[in-house]
């Protein structure tokens, strides 16, 4: 306990220093552009040629200035800073003896940082009590048979554990909107997640499983025997999944025959329909345990796929071939593996603090947003929001010009389809209803059902997961929103999205901007417009473009499935084939958003003349249309393009004695635009490479690959840096989307 008090005392000192630093920064507001450029150019590594490796040039020295074990890249750094800020807010509220939601959040955080000797089996004991069920490994007397050895209701256990986050085991289920009416929700039920899409942390490995059972007290022979049964069950399930005609996870072979037109049928039905189609499973009982309530078998809508049905029919017989104890162990291990990453195991005090604050952000997102709003953003919301909405609206207007320039050769109906969604797209800054008459009361009402204890992390954590799942499932009641309702929505997301500072395009046709990125070194509304549009403007443009990527184009402005989107997607083939990417997946969609988002941001800042030739430009822009000097033949550079922002003869007086390294070269506005556009992707790439993270699990290419693969496709890049033909950043063939 002394250790914990010392830890908090150290952070209280940090709060004072941090708040003083904020005040000092505000006092120096007039130097914000100079300080920003100093930092920006400090990240450059000019030993690299920007035409050879632009990422290394623009970000090569970033790791020297941001060398910390707590993060490996700019997004991680921004999350790290937000975590510190939220801790500061909690400490301030605690010092002021504030009650309510701040106290609840503090109790959760405090129980986490003070957790000694974390043990997953404590979670098992909690849910065992809640579900009135006995895990075979936890039976008090090993001499007696397990009480469920002859009768085990696996549907009841799997369904009950869904409320505590378990999913994708035997049956996968999620809440989603209807294809034809996005204002109504239904329950998706699908087969168990196949190995290709299951989170790596949930994959069972024999040696790991044996070690777990040995730690529970089994002898090595006993552990080997039990583990072999569990692995055999996993293999049986994977074999059953492999025989189904499954569409690959978010991917298809690239051929015009199957683009976005999946070779499977989506089925919408009520519960009675599913009972009739798959009588082998007690669906009524399963839904009772999953949702915690009886469902109307006629009114409750479900969605499944045609390939799920044969799997469901085989599942009971497949499980019957294994002992009840093996099935229970299998469920237990999956549940433990799901929660293992949440425990603060083997961490220093600082690492534990960061980890616990991330859990708070992910599992109490409204509370975290509320604290940030009240302590950091409220005082600058008016000015910051106005600047962001101005950028957002200009980006939308310029993309509309691109659509009407019609490089994709869409017909009138297809263009109208695109523009309708663009017209209705909204920007939301911070996931908190800040316009509420009494925000504090609304947030406390939202969390009225929780009771955080400062000394019970396990109970607290399961409470928060339970509340999050139940709120998501409550959408299935389809309670209509009043037509005259003006209250801002609170968007519910998964843990990864809620705990991230990165902006995201969500299904409600909203670009949601968390608070984390709305601070330096990424954004400040007082910055020169060049720095705002080239970095945060590009991020917003990237998210706007996600409305039209491979997987979202089929949903219209209301969120309804629309076959017109399939027709629009057929126009993407020239770009897709140009990129030579062989799979249609999230990585390709991210690259599409990079390529088009960079173009939209660039033309928005530099002016509409950048799209004057859009209709004539082919999707594949070859060097034949470029002059030797790397400019378009008919291009007339604007005054802003020709004027250097920073040059040897234009050093601000306050920086006249700065190191020449910071001011080398005459960087024009286009050059600074591109340099700045990359900054949110700067990273310590050797450390990331050592982590062996795969793009498939990230959903996008690695940071350096993104820049090397996508930035050269904007022809203005080669013009800005005067890159010779056929250099890596000025290849003969460039790919254009929009």
Full DSSP string of 173-237: EEEEE-SS-TTSEEEEEEEPPPTTTS-GGG---HHHHHHHHHHTT--HHHHHHHHHHHHHHHHHH
Please report the pLDDT score of residue 297 as a whole number: 96
| 382 and 308 co-located in one domain | no
Question: 157-171, 503-517, 607-621: which range is least confident on average?
Answer: 607-621
Residues 301 and 412 both lie in one domain: no
Give me the domain span that covers residue 724: 10-85+349-479+487-735
How far is 343 from 355, CA to CA, in rounded Å? 9
Lowest mean pLDDT among 115-119, 247-251, 541-545: 247-251
165 and 236 both lie in a single domain: yes
pLDDT the model gives residue 244 = 74
Task: Flag whether pLDDT at 625 surpasses 80.
Answer: no
- Among residues 373, 358, 376, 461, which one has the least CA distance to residue 71? 358
Contact partners, residue 692, CB within 8 Å, separation at least 6 = none
**Are residues 495 and 634 located together in one domain of the fold?**
yes
Residue 256 in this model has a pLDDT that exceeds 80: no
Dist CA 173 CA 513 (whole Å): 28
- What is the pTM for the complete model shown? 0.85
Whole-number mean pLDDT of the chain?
84
In a domain, 455, yes or no: yes
State which of 25-29, 56-60, 548-552, 613-617 shows the largest mean pLDDT.
Answer: 56-60
Q: What percent of the chain has pLDDT above 70? A: 84
**pLDDT: is 298 or 20 the higher one?**
298
| The two structure tokens encoding residue 634 | 């008919």
- Among the ranges 25-34, 378-387, 601-610, which has the highest mean pLDDT value? 378-387
- Co-location of 301 and 426 in the same domain: no
**Rounded mean pLDDT, 310-319:** 96
pLDDT digits (tens, 9 = 90+) for 564-610: 999 999 999 999 999 887 777 888 999 999 999 999 999 999 986 64
pLDDT at 640: 37
Residues 313 and 365 in one domain: no
Residues forming a β-bridge with 268: 303
Q: Do 451 and 363 fall within a single domain?
A: yes
Same domain, 386 and 246: no
**Helix (H) or strand (E) run with residue 426 in it:** strand 426-429
For position 227, which CATH number holds? Answer: 1.10.1380.10
Whole-number pLDDT of residue 623: 31
Q: Give the Cβ contact number of residue 668 at 10 Å.
A: 19
Task: Give the three-class secondary structure for 267.
Answer: strand
165 belongs to a structural domain: yes
- What is the band of 394 on the pLDDT scale with cuts at 50, 70, 90? very high
What digits encode the pLDDT tens for the residues 673-725? 999 999 999 999 999 888 877 766 677 789 999 999 999 999 999 999 999 99
| Residue 312 sits in the same domain as residue 356 | no
- CATH code of the domain in which 709 resides: 3.40.390.10
Q: Which residue has the higher pLDDT, 12 or 546?
A: 546
Does 500 reside within a domain?
A: yes
Q: Is residue 130 part of a domain?
A: no
Measured CA to CA in angstroms, residue 164 lies from 21, 137, 325, 496 at distances of 41, 20, 21, 16
Q: So what's the pLDDT on residue 585?
A: 80
Measured CA to CA, the distance from residue 698 to residue 590 in angstroms comes to 11
> Is the residue at 106 inside a domain?
no
Which pLDDT belongs to residue 81? 94
CB atoms within 10 A of CB 435: 9
Q: Give yes or no for a contact between 735 and 619, defined as CB atoms under 8 angstroms apart.
A: yes
Instruction: Kindly tell me if the per-residue pLDDT of 524 is higher than 70.
Output: yes
DSSP label at residue 627: -
Residue 630 has pLDDT above 50, yes or no: no
Residue 530: closest CA among 708, 668, 717: 668
Q: Which long-range contacts (CB under 8 A, 24 or more apart) does 720-727 make?
A: 720/668, 720/670, 720/671, 720/673, 720/674, 721/50, 721/51, 721/54, 721/671, 721/674, 722/51, 722/629, 722/630, 723/50, 723/51, 723/630, 724/51, 724/630, 725/623, 725/626, 725/630, 726/623, 727/51, 727/52
Tell me: do 372 and 306 sit in the same domain: no
121 has pLDDT over 60? yes
pLDDT of residue 512: 95
Greater model confidence, 485 or 432? 432
When pLDDT is cut at 50, 70 and 90, the band that residue 201 belongs to is: confident
Number of domains comprising the chain:
2
179 and 273: one domain?
yes
pLDDT in tens, 422-463: 999 999 999 999 888 899 999 999 999 999 999 999 999 999
Mean per-residue pLDDT, 176-191:
92
111 Cβ contact list (under 8 Å, min separation 6): 452, 453, 454, 455, 456, 457, 460
Residues 453, 500 within the same domain: yes
| Residue 162 pLDDT greater than 80, yes or no | yes
């Amino acid at each position: 306990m002394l250790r914990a008090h010392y830890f908090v005392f150290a952070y209280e000192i940090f709060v004072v220093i941090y708040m003083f630093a904020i005040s000092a920064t505000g006092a120096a507001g007039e130097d914000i552009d100079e300080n920003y450029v100093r930092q920006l150019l400090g990240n450059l590594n000019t030993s690299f040629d920007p035409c050879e490796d632009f990422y290394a040039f623009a970000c090569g020295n970033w790791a020297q200035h941001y060398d910390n074990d707590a993060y490996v890249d700019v997004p991680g750094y921004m999350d790290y800073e937000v975590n510190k800020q939220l801790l500061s807010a909690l400490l301030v509220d605690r010092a002021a003896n504030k009650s309510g939601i701040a106290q609840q959040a503090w109790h959760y955080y405090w129980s986490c940082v003070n957790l000694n000797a974390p043990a997953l089996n404590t979670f098992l004991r909690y849910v065992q009590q809640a579900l009135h069920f006995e895990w075979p490994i936890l039976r008090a007397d090993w001499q007696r048979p397990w009480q469920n050895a002859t009768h085990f209701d696996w549907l009841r256990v799997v369904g009950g554990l869904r409320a505590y986050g378990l999913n994708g085991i035997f049956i996968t289920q999620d809440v989603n909107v209807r294809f034809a009416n996005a204002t109504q929700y239904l329950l998706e039920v699908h087969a168990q997640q196949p190995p290709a899409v299951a989170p790596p942390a949930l994959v069972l490995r024999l040696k790991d499983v044996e070690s777990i059972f040995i730690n529970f007290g089994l002898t090595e022979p006993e552990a080997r025997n039990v583990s072999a049964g569990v692995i055999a069950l996993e293999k049986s399930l994977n074999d059953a999944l492999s025989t189904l005609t499954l569409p690959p996870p978010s991917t298809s072979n690239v051929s015009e025959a199957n683009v976005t037109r999946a070779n499977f049928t989506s089925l919408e039905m009520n519960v009675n329909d599913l009972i009739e189609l798959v009588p082998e499973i007690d669906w009524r009982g399963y839904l009772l345990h999953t949702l915690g309530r009886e469902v109307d078998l006629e009114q409750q809508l479900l969605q499944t796929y045609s390939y799920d049905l044969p799997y469901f029919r085989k599942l009971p017989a497949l499980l019957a071939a294994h002992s009840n104890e093996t099935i229970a162990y299998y469920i237990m291990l999956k549940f433990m593996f799901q929660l293992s990453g949440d425990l603060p195991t083997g961490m220093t005090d600082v690492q534990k603090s960061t980890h616990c604050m991330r859990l708070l952000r992910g599992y109490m997102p409204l509370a975290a947003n509320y604290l940030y709003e009240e302590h950091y953003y409220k005082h600058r919301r008016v000015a910051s929001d106005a600047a962001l909405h101005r950028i957002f609206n200009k980006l939308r207007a310029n993309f509309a010009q691109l659509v009407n320039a019609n490089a994709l050769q869409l017909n009138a109906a297809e263009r109208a389809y695109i523009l309708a969604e663009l017209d209705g797209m909204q920007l939301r800054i911070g996931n908190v209803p800040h316009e509420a008459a009494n925000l504090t009361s609304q947030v406390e009402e939202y969390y009225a059902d929780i009771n955080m204890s400062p000394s019970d992390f396990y109970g607290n954590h399961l409470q928060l997961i339970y509340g999050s799942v139940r709120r998501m499932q409550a959408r299935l009641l389809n309670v209509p929103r009043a037509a005259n309702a003006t209250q801002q929505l609170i968007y519910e997301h998964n843990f990864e999205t809620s705990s991230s500072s990165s902006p995201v395009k969500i299904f409600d046709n909203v670009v949601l901007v968390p608070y984390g990125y709305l601070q330096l070194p990424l954004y400040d509304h007082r910055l020169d417009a060049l720095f705002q549009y080239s970095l945060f403007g590009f991020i917003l443009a990237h998210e706007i473009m996600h409305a039209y990527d491979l997987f979202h184009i089929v949903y219209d402005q209301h969120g309804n499935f629309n076959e017109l989107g399939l027709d629009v997607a057929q126009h993407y083939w020239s770009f897709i084939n140009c990129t030579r990417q062989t799979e249609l997946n999230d990585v390709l969609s991210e690259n599409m958003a990079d390529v088009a988002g960079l173009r939209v941001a660039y033309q928005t800042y530099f002016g509409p003349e950048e799209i004057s030739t859009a209709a004539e430009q082919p999707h594949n822009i070859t060097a034949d249309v470029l002059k030797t000097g790397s400019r378009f033949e008919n291009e007339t550079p604007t005054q802003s393009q020709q004027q250097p922002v920073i040059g040897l003869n234009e050093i601000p007086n306050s920086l006249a004695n700065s190191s020449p390294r910071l001011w080398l070269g005459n960087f024009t506005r286009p050059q600074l635009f591109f340099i700045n556009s990359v900054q949110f992707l700067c990273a310590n790439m050797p450390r990331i490479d050592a982590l062996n993270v795969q793009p498939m699990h990230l959903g996008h290419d690695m940071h350096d690959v993104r820049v090397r693969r996508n930035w050269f496709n904007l022809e203005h890049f080669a013009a800005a840096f005067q890159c010779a033909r056929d250099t890596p950043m000025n290849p003969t063939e460039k790919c254009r989307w929009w």
